[in-house]
């Protein structure tokens, strides 16, 4: 019986670890951001971030937004090296598709340039 409990515990732990990995298709992983991080893109990205992201991810992207405590999954800290080491294409995919508590923004941000502008803003959140 103790062996079954041990195996069940390992199974649950393994499942939680596997679910934390957010698989990004190679076609997105290798995408390059076609929108330069110029003044216009940064202005647009900042406005879109404030409208669609800030309530969960917080003003500075630390995962401490006003709705963060209500989520079942952590909203993440954009300032970390782990986050910032992701490719622009991976961030584009995650914004578009969403997962768990993170909604996909393919309908709210139908223009690819808008999503790329948000990616540009996310890159500045690691500059603290």
pLDDT tens by residue, 25-45: 999 999 999 999 999 999 999
Q: Which of 6-10, 96-100, 118-122 has the lowest mean pLDDT?
A: 6-10
Q: Which DSSP letter does residue 59 get?
A: T
SS (H, E, C) 65-98: CCCHHHCCCCCCCCCCHHHHCCCHHHHHHHHHHC
How is domain 25-124 classified at the CATH fold level?
Cytochrome Bc1 Complex; Chain D, domain 2 (1.10.760)
> Residue 4: is its pLDDT beyond 60?
no
Q: What is the pLDDT of residue 11?
A: 42
Rounded Cα gap, residues 73 and 15, in angstroms: 15
Q: Where are the domains of the chain?
A: 25-124
Q: What are phi and psi of 102, to 5 degrees?
A: -80, 110
Tokens 């298709």, residue located: 25
> Residue 52: is its pLDDT beyond 60?
yes
Rounded Cα gap, residues 78 and 74, in angstroms: 12
Predicted model pTM: 0.82
Q: What is the pLDDT of residue 20?
A: 76
């Amino acid at each position: 019986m103790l062996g079954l409990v041990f195996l069940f515990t390992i199974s649950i732990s393994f499942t939680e670890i596997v679910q934390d990995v957010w698989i990004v298709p190679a076609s997105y992983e290798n995408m390059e951001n076609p929108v330069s991080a110029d003044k216009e893109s940064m202005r647009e990205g900042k406005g879109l971030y404030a409208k669609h992201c800030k309530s969960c991810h917080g003003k500075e992207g630390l995962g401490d937004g006003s709705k963060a405590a209500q989520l079942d999954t952590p909203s993440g800290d954009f300032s970390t090296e782990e986050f910032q080491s992701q490719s622009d294409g991976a961030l584009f995919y995650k914004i578009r598709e969403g997962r768990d508590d993170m909604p996909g923004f393919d309908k709210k941000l139908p223009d690819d340039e808008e999503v790329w502008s948000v990616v540009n803003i996310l890159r500045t959140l690691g500059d603290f």
